[in-house]
Structure 1
Amino acid sequence: MTEVLFYHLQQQPLEALLPGLLEKSLERGWRVVVEAGSAERCDQLDALLWTYSDDSFLPHGLWRDPEAAQHPILITPEAGNPNGANVRFLVAGASAGDLAGYARVVLMFDGNDPEALDSARASWKRVKAEGHDATYWQQSEQGRWQKKA
């Protein structure tokens, strides 16, 4: 079964947290696919990963790149695993579809958005019912992750 981590964003936005989690994934030798809810959001994340730090670089590309399968981090609005990723991040409205084939799936959702909360709750129920190993993480006031379930 796939390990599924639910990250409830409250103190910091996705843009502040995603690059660090992607760096940790690459340090572990994992290939990553980041699924966002729209092509526009994918373009925003692409720009973020080019500019988030002056002294770091995250090798990545977009689903529409001719060499998409070669990228260690691929950003896409679509289901599928074109780069053979071990880890799938679901962000910006992307929902948990087929989890088979991934060692880990990370669903990051905005805790200040009622629609995102409802979607995450529905995904939690489905993931648990399918027998996946699901954990729920919430940010403390200091921005640290605390395991809640």
Structure 2
Amino acid sequence: MGEIRFYRLGEEGVDGTLPLLLERVLARGQRALVRAGMAEALPRLDARLWTYAPDSFLPHGIAGGPHDADQPVLLTTDTGRNGADVLFLTDGARVDPAEADDLAMIVRLFEDRDGEAVAQAREDWRAVTQAQKEAVFWAREGGKWVEKARSSASGS
């Protein structure tokens, strides 16, 4: 059963944070599924993964192509077909606590300047803790990620 992480993003936002987190996942030899809450976000995420750094490359694709199963990172608004170990939720995608049973980790990204996103993340946190899944809340402070809260799988 995988941990569910909540990342409250500041100025760097999803576009600044997601590529760095994906690099870590790939460096560990894992696969990732990036689920956006709306189809309109997929072209933006796709473009960002191609251009976030001039000397980096994140192999990825948008779901719906003939090679979805081969993609180390697959962008979608639905479930994935690439054998992902880690699920990233962006742009309004919501947490389903049951998905943690089949994944190494779920990462819920939300921007602190978006009041609706913060409210949804709080609802998702409650759903995760009520389902007695392990949850960890992270926030960026002084250029570093700081663990702000933790809820164990036993619901504490």
Taking structure 2 as the reference length, the TM-score comes to: 0.90
Which residue does the alignment assign to 1:101? Answer: 102
Query: Which amino acid in 1 is paired with 2:87?
Result: R
Structure 1: runs of 5 or more not aligned? none
Number of corresponding residues: 147
Which residue does the alignment assign to 2:154? Answer: none
**Deviations along 1:79-116, whole A, 9 cap, x unmatched?**
x2311100000011110124131110000001111110
Q: Is the 8 A contact 1:11 1:139 kept in 2?
A: no
Q: Is the 8 A contact 2:91 2:110 kept in 1?
A: yes
Query: Which amino acid in 1 is paired with 2:92?
Result: G
Report the CA distance between 1:48 and its aligned residue. Answer: 0.7
What pairs up with 1:1-149 in 2 under 5 angstroms?
1-78=1-78, 80-97=79-96, 98-99=98-99, 100-140=101-141, 142-149=142-149
Report the CA distance between 1:2 and its aligned residue. Answer: 2.1
RMSD of the alignment, in Å? 1.0
Report the CA distance between 1:14 and its aligned residue. Answer: 1.1
CA distance in 1, matches of 2:32, 2:19: 12
Taking structure 1 as the reference length, the TM-score comes to: 0.95
**Deviations along 1:6-34, whole A, 9 cap, x unmatched?**
00012321111110100000001111000
Q: Is the 8 A contact 2:74 2:80 kept in 1?
A: no
Runs of 4+ in structure 1 off by over 2 angstroms are none
Query: Which amino acid in 2 is paired with 1:108?
Result: L
Higher normalized contact order (CA 8 Å, seq sep 6+, divided by chain length) = 1
CA distance in 2, matches of 1:107, 1:26: 18
Where 1:146 maps in the other structure, the secondary structure is strand
**Deviations along 1:39-68, whole A, 9 cap, x unmatched?**
120111001111111111000001121111
